[in-house]
């Protein structure tokens, strides 16, 4: 499978790092960790924290917002997208867990993931 990797997933990397990053994306493996490469916080995670006043990893997520099963289903899809060779990849120094939490944040704040995960949200959001 030979496909283009978006430039944002190799931006700021030296040639050797780019090669390793692209290889890990194409193989569907964990991304290598590079020193001197800054990570950018997900805008979805920032939006979630601003809206709810606590972190996406806080236990209140499954108490007040979405059922544990709903959270698990969306997080699982986030992990799947991270490791899926056809999904496009991820930025340097981003872990599968960070990718999954960003997806959950996006779904819970009405981002693109909310449309994709609509069935899960309809069934598992906690209505108060």
Measure CA of the first residue to CA of the last residue in the chain; give whole Å.
47
pLDDT score at 43: 94
What is the per-residue pLDDT across 85-96, written as a single tens digit (0 to 9) for each? 566 566 777 788
pLDDT score at 107: 97
For residues 68 and 61, give the distance between their C-alpha atoms in angstroms, rounded to a whole number.
Answer: 9
| Secondary structure of residue 94 in the 3-state scheme | coil
Q: pTM of the entire structure?
A: 0.75
Contact 117, 38 (CB under 8 A): no
> Where does the pLDDT of residue 50 fall: very low under 50, low under 70, confident under 90, or very high at 90 and above?
very high
> Where does the pLDDT of residue 1 fall: very low under 50, low under 70, confident under 90, or very high at 90 and above?
very low
Task: Kindly report the backbone phi and psi dihedral angles of residue 66, in degrees, each rounded to the nearest multiple of 5, phi listed first.
Answer: -140, 150
Contact 100, 61 (CB under 8 A): no
> Where does the pLDDT of residue 26 fall: very low under 50, low under 70, confident under 90, or very high at 90 and above?
confident
**pLDDT greater at residue 121 or residue 22:** 121
**Which strand (E) or helix (H) includes residue 58?**
none
**Beta-carbon-side half-sphere exposure of residue 25 (alpha carbons within 13 Å):** 25
Domain ranges across the chain: 59-128
């Amino acid at each position: 499978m030979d496909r283009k990797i978006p430039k944002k997933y190799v931006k700021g990397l030296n040639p050797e790092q780019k090669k390793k990053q692209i290889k890990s994306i194409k193989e569907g493996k964990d991304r290598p960790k590079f020193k001197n490469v800054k990570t950018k916080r997900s805008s979805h995670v920032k939006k979630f924290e601003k809206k709810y006043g606590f972190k996406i990893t806080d236990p209140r997520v499954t108490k007040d917002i979405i059922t544990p099963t709903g959270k698990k289903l969306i997080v699982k899809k986030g992990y799947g997208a991270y490791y899926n060779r056809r999904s496009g990849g991820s930025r340097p120094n981003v872990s599968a867990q960070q990718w999954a939490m960003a997806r959950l944040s996006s779904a819970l704040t009405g981002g693109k993931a909310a449309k994709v995960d609509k069935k899960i949200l309809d069934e598992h959001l906690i209505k108060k």
